[in-house]
Chains A and B, each alone.
Chain A
Amino acid sequence: MKTYTDDALARTIYRIAAERIQNAGGKMPCTEAVFSAVTAAAPDKVSYRQLAGLDNADFLEAAYLLLLGRPLDDPSRESWKGSLTLPPQELQTLVLKTIMQSGEYKSNRIPLTDCPLQITDGTQQNLLISAQAMPQRLVRMYQKMPRFMQKLAKKAAGKE
């Protein structure tokens, strides 16, 4: 009898189903790599490390599934088609930025962790303007700081 790691067992079951569906003339809803990444996900956060090793097409599919909780729809797939040849890091940054700036993501609220990519556009914003958009408690915390600290904070964030 065999023993499997969680990932190896999930992948083997995927392959059994993939063979069956191909014999019946169908195709699997996602690649084995995407299936593996999605199966390993925690319900309350998405770790970039789960996605990092995927090729561009798989990264796109997995990012939609994990961050938006739904598969990539056909119009979106079509619109991303031209970007799939970008260098991986560039595409990943673009995909994550697009998803995270969408209203759909903001209502989903699944945080992305461990991401080494610069996906905020914070450097182009004034900290004060950003702070005003932050929830009240955070704004109050910022406002309570001495002026020199506010300056330092702005400088630290490259916004002055």
Chain B
Amino acid sequence: MAETRIYIDLSRLCLTPFTTGIQRVAKEIVLRMLKDPALSVTLLADLPSHTAWRVLPQAAFTKFYTEQEGSPYGSGIPQIIRPDDIPSDAVFFDIDSAWNMPMQRSWLFPQLKNRGVTVVSHLYDLIPVTEPQYFHSQTLRQFLSWTSAVLQYADHIICNAEATKAALHTLCGQLELEPPPCTVVPLGGDFAKKAADNGKADENLFAQLTPYRYLLMVGTVEPRKNHRLLFDAVNDLAKRGIKVVFAGRVGWNMNEFVKEISKHPKNGKDLFFVQGPSDATVQRLYQNALAVAFPTKNEGFGLPIVEAFLNGTPVLASDIPVLREVGGDMADYFDNTSVDSLLAAVDALLADPDAYQKKRAAISAYRPRTWDTAAAEMAQALRNAGRIQGTVPADTRVTQMVMLTARNADLLRTLPYLDVCMPFIERLLVCCPERNVAELREKWHGRIQLSFFTDEQLLDGAALPEDHSMRNLFLRCLMMRRAPLDDVFIMTDDDYRPLMPVTQECFIRNGRYQAYYCYDLKDWRGTQDDYSSFDRSMFRTRDLLTEHRLPTLMYASHQPQIIDRRLYLEMLDAFPGIEMTGDDEWSSYFDYCIAKHPDMFAAERFLSVSWPGSISDWRLTVQPKALVFENFYDVLYEDGQIFAGLSKTYDAERFTQESAEKIRRWSAELERQNTGAAHIRTYAEMYRDSRGVLPEFLLSAQDGKPVLTVPELLYLPAGTATRMPLIIDPSAAKPGLEITYTLHDDRGNRILRERTLAPETVAPGVPPELIFLMPPYPFRGILTLTCGETKASCAVSCVQ
């Protein structure tokens, strides 16, 4: 059985000096999960950019939180993880107070869900939504934002209490939302007895207290805890010979209340406020109290009840569902709005000393639920939610490959690669024009058996759309409905070549179809001054997926992909009329399936060399996971190009060596692009640090005339593609507006062709950009922008 991979962000725990409340829960659970052999846990703490994490070394983390030695961050160079490094079959588990984290979940969760990562959130309570008046403004804003992200994206929720689950269902009812699956895992209570601090008990305090003649209230003084009720009862309690002790820190919005305590006539006699008590003081206060009072308005769990019981002390608690859940029959309850109700509960304790002693004896036998149990139940919930093993049947065998082609020469050059490297493929169904069939039959004599389904059979009289992307999708849709396809097959093109032996596991692993993506459609820019059919198809697909609230990854990865025909047909039914829209046939299918059949699919980064064909065609926001396939471009083998000198056709003797060489050259090129991108980021940061703004281009208007503002100096690494936004003030955006730009070196030679950007023609949702495809050599030059009669120039430094 495979381990469930769990990623846990503990940024708050690592920053919090005292592990109380939620951080204490996170610590107790995580320390136990690290020992669970069925889980592979990765602990994370965010980096200053708040867009990535460092991995916390488990040994250092454990040592710090069990022996208080070292640092949870460990020493040495940290491993960095970004959201898209989290595997799609993993679980991202939020057990820390994620609403306080700068990496907002409204930003993070959509990225994780795009790739099918399972998101599980621990919901401690919903009190900021149900009783927002008790919370600091910042906490309230952050919590509401976090709650909306959780309800929108979490696959599973873990609550401490049935009461919290009920509150969740009530909120979902109000929102008319389907509540996410929810598991209730009550917290543990077997805290280590060892005092966390070295303080001594406050003897002066205890000299003024008689054992079993005071009510104790422990915890931070904050409005929700309702210290006020006990405060209002001080005089009546004093008449009964009962004192009141508050122990804790002063929280938000309670300074006035603390002043009231200090001015109370009975302060220091019948009323005590011990601020920041030592653990030893708290322990002794618990043991000698008549009872612990817990008049709170609402709670997520109520650990003070457990702590009171562990000290053998009776509890008088608010009569609210969550406290009844924790306190059961062992606690006594009162109305948290009524002093009389509290006094009646106290009177009941005082009325019969024998009964009181019996109650203490019964409580001393209390054995709390253990953290081991809580952690084991939580781990089980994560395993269940994680769906590590997908539901694609284990005996699924893929033997058919399918392609649409009209180019016999390309297919005949690609077939030997498939024949040798993909031994599990037995048959190739070629969908091609009738006229191509005879030549293919005549010239191919390899292992893979060819069969044919002609365009004429496919179209059955229907007209073929002119546009390339429209034609692609149209034909594939017809193929899914009419061609003799297996239920599961590999879809490929006539120029996708394996670079090494590939097994079926490349396409089905752990019961999941592997779906290879290469971009996020939301980031797709296209070539703004010359959109291709491909660009327009990507924009349409982005809009379709967004409209249907589906993930938006781009799966046109130019490599073979696995298709389940039944699910493809289901997708076609879900988008009526899609056949004629020219959407991307890969992305619409995989994004639909990742969302609708998460148990069957895993999204992985793509595996292709030569995609994009020229590595500087676009920003490589998604890097290939490995280089396994080649998207063959003839031109790349010409002199001066990246694969110059290597064979264009299959050569058995040189295949392994040449494949390794292609991978080496492409990796080096990737590395160069990444280094260039890092240089540009550094330049932009330096520019921002000195100027307060990023080096951006701006078109504004003054007195009706355009004004172009440009960076003082533009730094662009040689051989890279850089796109910089052109920000347009709405007042300058006139119909027919065009901005042209050229780049010359210091000898006056034109470096880049003149490009024209017409903002009106830029696809909706895409910011206008200037595109700089830099030559592979260094130079210094001048960039000139023109808008009507307005010109602006900036110095350009292109460095190696």
Contact = CB atoms under 8 A, between A and B. Distances in A.
Contacts of B177: 1-2, 4, 9
A101 B692 contact: yes
Contacts of A138: 683, 686-687, 690, 713, 715
Name which of B128, B144, B689 has the most chain A CB atoms within 10 A of its CB. B144
Contacts of B51: 42-44
A1 B780 contact: no
B692 A13 contact: no
Contacts of A109: 688-689
Interface stretch (B330-338, B362-370, B588-596, B694-702): B694-702
Contacts of A12: 175
B545 interface: no
Contacts of A157: 710, 712, 794
Contacts of A146: 746, 780
B99 to A, nearest CB: 11
Nearest to B50: A43
B382 interface: no
A21 B133 contact: yes
Contacts of B102: 43, 69
A137 B145 CA distance: 41
Given A43-B104, A134-B690, A138-B686, A16 B797 contact: no
Name which of A118, A138, A150 has the most chain B CB atoms within 10 A of its CB. A138
A3 interface: yes
**B interface secondary structure, majority:** mixed
B110 interface: yes
Name which of A111, A119, A131 has the most chain B CB atoms within 10 A of its CB. A111
Interface string B90-117: 0000000000001110110010000000
A120 B692 contact: yes
A141 to B, nearest CB: 5
B144 A111 contact: no
Size band of the interface chain A makes with B: 35 or more
B79 interface: no
Contacts of B690: 130, 133-135, 138
Given A113-B725, A156-B795, A21 B132 contact: yes
A4 B106 CA distance: 14
A88 B147 CA distance: 32
B797 A141 contact: yes
Interface in B340-374: none
Contact of A116 (B700, B794, B795): B700
B709 interface: yes
Contact of A13 (B103, B175, B176, B700): B175
Contacts of A75: none
Contacts of B691: 120, 122, 130
A147 to B, nearest CB: 11
Nearest to B785: A156
Contacts of B732: 116
Contacts of B175: 2, 4, 9, 12-13, 16
Interface string B677-721: 000000110111111111010111000000001101101000000
A149 B133 contact: no
Given A6-B148, A10-B144, A39 B104 contact: yes
A114 B687 contact: no
Nearest to A52: B730
Contact of B171 (A16, A29, A148): A16
Given A116-B730, A156-B794, A9 B152 contact: yes
Interface in B124-182: 128-133, 137-138, 140-141, 144-145, 147-149, 151-152, 171, 174-178
Contacts of A35: 141, 144-145
A137 B365 CA distance: 70
A138 B683 CA distance: 8
B728 interface: yes
B129 A16 contact: yes
B152 A6 contact: yes
Nearest to B178: A1
A26 B133 contact: yes
A100 interface: yes
B16 interface: no
A116 B694 contact: no
B782 interface: yes
Contacts of A5: 549
A156 B688 CA distance: 19
A6 B106 contact: yes
Contacts of A48: 727
Name which of B713, B725, B782, B793 has the most chain A CB atoms within 10 A of its CB. B713
B132 A28 contact: yes
B792 interface: yes
Contact of B50 (A38, A44, A106): A44
Interface in A117-160: 117-120, 122, 127, 130-131, 133-135, 137-138, 141-142, 144-146, 148-150, 152-153, 155-157
A29 B103 contact: no
Interface in A24-45: 24-26, 28-30, 35, 38-44
A157 B712 CA distance: 6
12 contacts: A6-B106, A28-B132, A30-B137, A43-B107, A71-B137, A105-B692, A106-B689, A119-B693, A120-B692, A134-B690, A135-B690, A155-B793
Given A39-B148, A122-B691, 13 more contacts: A4-B177, A13-B147, A13-B175, A43-B104, A109-B688, A116-B732, A119-B693, A120-B691, A120-B692, A134-B690, A145-B795, A152-B795, A153-B794
Rank and list the top 5 A-B pairs by shortest CB-CB distance, nearest first. Answer: A29-B137, A43-B50, A116-B729, A153-B795, A156-B793
Interface of A: 1-6, 9-10, 12-14, 16-18, 20-21, 24-26, 28-30, 35, 38-44, 48, 69, 71, 100-101, 105-106, 109, 111-120, 122, 127, 130-131, 133-135, 137-138, 141-142, 144-146, 148-150, 152-153, 155-157
